[in-house]
Every structure is written in C-alpha cells, then in structure tokens.
Amino acid sequence: MAITSCHPVNKQIAFRSVLLLSGIFFLSHVAAQKTGTVQQDRQLWLTYLDKIARPVLTNLANNTLKEKMPVFLSERVDNKNARMEAAYLEAFGRTLAGIAPWLQLDEGDGEEKKLRNNYRQLAAKALANAVNPAAKDYLLFSGTQSLVDASFLSLALIRCPWLWQQADTVTKHNVQNAFLLTRNTVPYYSNWLLFSAMIEAFFCKYQLPYDKMRIDYAVKEFTHHWYTGDGLFSDGMQFHLDYYNSYVIQPYLQTIVNIINRTDSSYISLAPTLDKIAKRYAVIQERLINTDGSFPVTGRSITYRGGAFHHLANMTYTRQLPPELSPAQVRCALTAVIKKTLEAPATFNEKGWLNIGLYGSQPGLAEGYINTGSEYLCTQIFLPLGLPPTDDFWNMPAVPWTSVKIWSGQDVPADHAVE
C-alpha cells in the first residue's frame, strides 16, 4: 500500500522505516568503502583497464582497428574528414600512454602476470602495425591532430622502456620516421607546445638526435610566462577553468623536465619550484573529488572522464605525493572516480567501445574536436597500476579522502594557497 493512503499512525511508522532503511544503506555503503581489500581495489582497476584497452589493442594488433572501431564524432564536429582519419591514432596513443606503466611492471599475482603478458604481446604487435606504411592499420602521423596523439604515443614509450627495447630494428626505424613527420606541424601557442616537446623528449631519452629548441621553448613559456599562481598554469596567454593542467600541462612538464635534467641538467634550477607547484595542484585535485567520486563539470574536454585526474595519478605513480595526501586516501578517491565515470550502462556501446560522455553517453558534452578515439584519454587514471601490489598505495588499508572526511563531520586542516 502506498504511504499516501496510510492511516496517520501508519504514515509515521512508514516514514521512520524509510529513515531506518536509508541509514542502514548509508552505513553499509561506508562500511563497504572501508573494508575493500587491496586485492579488490587492484582487481577493479585491472578489470576496467582490460575492458577499455582490449578492443583498441586487439584490433590494432590484428590489423583490424580501422575496420572494426566505430568513429562517432561530435555533433559540432569542426572538420569531419580530418577527425575521422585521426581518431585511430587518438585511441591507440592515449590508451598505450595510460597502461604503459603497468606494462613495464613485472610484479603481480599469477593472473595479473598472465594478463600483462597478453597485453605486452598485443602492444608490441599494435605498435609495429601502427607505424608500418605497408600495414592496413598504418596510422596517420601527419596533420595537426596527429601531433597531439603522436605525443601520447611517445609518452607511452617513455613510460614503458620494455616496449621500445623489445621492438625490432624495422619497428624502431618506423617509429622514428613517424615521429619526425610531426615536425611539419607548427603547434598552437598553448599546451600544444608540450606535444612537440614530448616527442623530442622521447628522442632524447633513447639517445637519438633531438631538437632542444622545441623543448626549451615549451618549458620556458610555461615556467617563465604562464604560471598564474597557487599551483596552476594558464593554457597559453589566457587562463581557462578546465582540467588541462591535469590532462596535459603538469604531467607533460614533469616528464619532459625530468628527462632533460638526466641528460644535461638544463632545468635543475626549475625542479624545486615545479615540484612545489605539482604538489599543490595534487592537493587541489584530491579535494575536487566528491564523496561519490563525481567532480565539478567545468571546462572543455570534460568527456575525457577519469583523464581529468591524470596529474594526481601521475604524482602517485612517480611517488611524488605531498605529505598531506596519504597514498591510501588517493587510492580510495581515484577508485571512486573510476567507478563513477565508468559505471553507467551507456558508457560502452554494444561492442565494448567507449561512447562519448562523462557519465554514460552524452554527446552534447563534446567539443568539435571530440570523437570516439579522444575518449581513451581516460586511461591516464590507471597510471598507479604501474606500482607493485606491495607499494603503500595498494597495501595500506582504505581511508576516506578529504571530501568524505569533511562531509561526514570530521575535522580537517584548512586549505591554503601556496605562493
């Protein structure tokens, strides 16, 4: 019987029952969060990684990516033909960049090692096909958008030396030729400077001829001209309230500067300042994660889902978290983001490819440059899988993150800007 038709006394009983059930649900939800084991969290991450990456790498390894991958474009697509052609490199470069640290790892239980060995084989074959001009799935490395995603591919090879070292001579030659094609593209005066710089950082890491000017120009524009304060850079001449500090700017800057400093110490003097900035932005990122794993929907490229926390994931993977962020609380926060952004039934289409959206299928959220391939930047949230299961990130008991602490009534230190 509906509550609206109850006798007045029964209404009170029913209302109290609803409150009791709500309380039980809330307590059980909190208990579930606190009792999740290391193995359960890591397995959840691996399950989603596999679900996202398998269609991309399996098909490219089999030379069927262009045949099998559906390419959905934004309703406001700015250049239909160019977006269609670039989508395949977008999917591959972004996916590989996200899973590269895990591919590099050797630790894990038997099932995880078996899964990783499978992915190593797929990644090696996919890379060979992607850069082979005679392959059906030879990917587009010329043109504007290709600069972006060639840089993600170069980042993947930086993060996973195993993949580069095991490649045969022909594949290595083809990779170099593919990356050299991107020098014909002049990057926009924005975070795009870092795309060119990352490709040159790849050449530098593997002791190949590289263009230091492309690196120096990008690093100095950001560090000398585009830092706005309190852990944030502007994206070129204008500041935008979006997640590009995380999608690209700070993870790229850290990676590039670290590679060059190991080669010629050019940016040693910048290291302490960049470290301070990066730690502050990591604190900001953790505080953006709501109690249910959602986060503010602001700025462009929001359909990159968990990719919005590329920086926090990268700081975790490189073991550079600030003292106020315990690895366990970051694990719990990122796990909540993974669940929230990937749990909606319409997140994947019927054949397992990502749909455009933040929570399910939401094509209206996409800018003109967004397509199916773009969505695979979400894999950047999986970077901590490159840490072994024995690392504190995975091995410490679950603890609440900042939003959970605050909105459950706990007292926490006040947040302050960093000068």
Report d(CA 276, CA 21) in Å as an integer.
46
Q: Is 353 exposed, middle or buried (0-12, 13-18, 19+ CB in 10 A)?
A: buried
**Residues constituting the chain:** 419
What tens digit of pLDDT does each residue of 152-175 get?
Answer: 999 999 999 999 999 999 999 999
CB 384 within 8 A of CB 98: no
Residue 309: give the domain boundaries: 37-407
Q: Which two tokens stand for residue 41?
A: 């969290």
In a domain, 48, yes or no: yes
Please determine, for residue 9, whether its predicted confidence score (pLDDT) is greater than 80.
no
The overall average pLDDT reported for the chain is 92
Task: Answer whether 88's CB lies under 8 Å from 153's CB.
Answer: no
The predicted model gives 217-238 an average pLDDT of 97
With a cut of 90, say whether residue 344 has pLDDT above it.
yes
Q: What are phi and psi of 229, to 5 degrees?
A: 120, 160
Is residue 260 within 8 Å of 201, Cβ to Cβ?
yes
Domain of 309: which CATH number? 1.50.10
Within-domain flag for 223: yes
- Please give the Cα distance from 369 to 357 (Å, whole number): 14
pLDDT average, residue stretch 25-52:
70
Number of domains into which the chain is organized? 1
Is 4 among the domain residues?
no
The per-residue pLDDT for range 86-137, each reduced to its tens digit, is 999 999 999 999 999 999 999 999 999 999 999 999 999 999 999 999 999 9
Model confidence at 419, in pLDDT bands (50, 70, 90)?
confident
pTM exceeding the 0.85 threshold for the entire prediction: yes
Band of the pLDDT at 345, cuts 50, 70, 90? very high
**Mean pLDDT calculated for residue range 229-238:** 96
pLDDT of residue 292: 98
- Write down the residue that tokens 């669940």 correspond to: 339
**pLDDT on residue 151:** 98
pLDDT band at 38, cuts 50/70/90? low
- Is 172 inside any structural domain? yes
